[in-house]
Chains A and B, each alone.
Chain A
Amino acid sequence: MKPTAQQNKKRRGGTLVLGTIGLLLAVGAIALFLGTVNQERIVGDIAAVEQSLDSAGATSALPPSSNQRQQASVPTTQPQSSQTVAPNDLSRLDQLSDSSALIPVRLEINGISVDAPVEPYGVDSRTGQMKVPRNVRDVAWYQYGPSPGDAGSAVLAAHVDLAEQGPGVFYRLRDLNPGDTVVVEYSDASVGTFVVKARTVYDKKDLPLDTIFSRRGSAVLTLITCGGGFNPSVGSYDSNIVVYAVPITPAVDSPILEAA
């Protein structure tokens, strides 16, 4: 039997509603999808930051000499200069001592609600990777590199998330942008302020380790966590999110640096 006009109208109405819902859903989803894709994965002048860190440090055949803390008093002079060379101050074995430099103890990034303790971490001898905290709340400072503000890259690492613990203190690291402020508190209660210069995502297999862990070059504060795609079968991400920040120069009256 042919449907009545009224039945046709209902069906057309129903179809219209269904079609509209579908259309809205699709348009909305596509818009959101495009929106998240368009959130920049790389912001700021990454190349400039990478170049400012002397990435030749660990692999150079000629290690630096007089600029290291252990050699604080040794001049590097050519023997042909008119000055003679003074002996090292610390040449007796039992006079060697660790320089107790200022170390970071707290990290505050108001823009992404980070207010976390910082502790020194070394190397996991089993994997050769940087040791990291076992909880999602603490921030690890690579203790063999510089302290934030000293020459080279000071590395602060924390979890984006941990299975069984949920989102970590660096969960929103990817939301930091050039111009954002990062504050470090040190072991003597002094404070250093840094401004974000750039953020990027590196494939883990292409992570520029010598740059990120460089101990020479400009003072850079490097914040690092995991990101990118996640592989559930191995329980790890395929990339690292890295934020580079630089110290705000101590010209007291100058405004906070704008990102280039």
Chain B
Amino acid sequence: MKKMRLALLVMAMALVPATAAFAQSAEGEVIVVHGVPELPVDIYVNGELTFENSNFGDVFGPLALPEGSYDIEIYATGADPEAGDPALAGSADLPAGAVATIAAYLQEGGAPTLGVFVENNGSTAAGDARITARHLADFGAVDVLANDGAVWEGVTNGQGADTDVPADTYNIKITAAGDPGTVAFDADVPLGEGTNTIAYAIGSVGGGSFQVATAAISGLAEAPAGVPTGTAGLASESNIMIPLALAGLAVIALGGTAVLARKEQ
């Protein structure tokens, strides 16, 4: 009976942790990316002016928001939201505990659009970093290389991917897919431990506005598994006093036996 109760308790505890974390604060986070060149904008969230006069390349956040649904409307800076339609509009559902990127960006061919992308905010192993790449530029498929080794190949507009690597500085290159000679981006990028560094390729290569904007989700690192700091046993708590005390008692016992033996004679 006791054993069964314990098993049930363990099961219940196993189910609770995920929801307990969410229950503490039913929030998510958003990152907002302005990836449309030559278009300063005012961005309204659920009808409120939230980002004013934002320029191409601006990244906001991660910003904490209550979980829920958000309507996004993007107007040219200064335009009266009552007077006309937004240049771009869309909605995003933000679940608790999630991190989402809301990006205004160019499709291949140049038409602006609004996209929502869920980011990987899972924990990283101690010592690891995470890199995310999102192709949000007016350009064909690309390859992404780290230290001249291909990480992702043939990534097209609107696609993205992430991977975990040992925290370090890496040379990151973005080239036309299968064409290492056509380099759109080449820079040394520090990938911090416990951080998801998100690289958004935005703008137009043909139009000369191509660039890579970034955001970072931090605090993902797990603790190391232990701290191994002793191999000689010199500080061991095992006591030599016990054998010593026993030896002393043995001597007394011997002495006592001897006394008794004498008395018997």
Contacts and interface: CB of A to CB of B under 8 A. Distances in A.
Interface residues of A, number: 102
A28 B219 contact: no
Contact of A98 (B57, B190, B259): B190
A259 interface: no
Contacts of A122: 127, 167, 193
Contact of B232 (A80, A93, A144, A162): A162
Interface in A70-114: 70-71, 74, 76-80, 84-88, 90-94, 96-98
Contacts, number: 319
A56 B223 CA distance: 11
A179 B29 CA distance: 43
Interface string B63-106: 11110001000000000000000000000000011010000000
A94 B173 CA distance: 12
B148 interface: no
A228 B25 CA distance: 40
Contacts of A227: 230, 235, 237
A210 B237 CA distance: 26
B36 interface: no
A212 interface: yes
Given A25-B244, A94-B187, A235-B231, A63 B265 contact: no
A68 B50 contact: no
Contacts of B223: 58, 209-210, 212-214
A70 B218 contact: yes
Nearest to A242: B227
Contact of A65 (B29, B166, B232, B239): B29
Q: How large is the interface on B (under 10, 10 to 19, 20 to 34, 35 or more residues)?
A: 35 or more
Given A33-B242, A92-B213, A207-B226, A161 B50 contact: no
Interface stretch (A123-131, A182-190, A192-200, A247-255): A123-131
A18 B230 contact: no
B47 to A, nearest CB: 10
B247 interface: yes
A84 B52 contact: yes
B248 A91 contact: no
A75 B189 CA distance: 24
Contact of A29 (B34, B235, B241): B241
A132 B224 CA distance: 12
Interface string A6-45: 0010011001001101111111111011001100000000
Given A29-B241, A61-B18, A123-B125, 13 more contacts: A8-B262, A11-B262, A29-B245, A30-B248, A60-B21, A70-B192, A93-B212, A94-B212, A130-B224, A130-B226, A142-B224, A157-B229, A230-B235
Interface of B: 17-18, 21-22, 24-25, 27-29, 34, 45-46, 48-52, 54-55, 57-66, 70, 96-97, 99, 121, 123, 125-127, 166-167, 172, 185, 187, 189-190, 192-195, 197, 199, 211-239, 241-242, 244-245, 247-256, 258-259, 262, 265
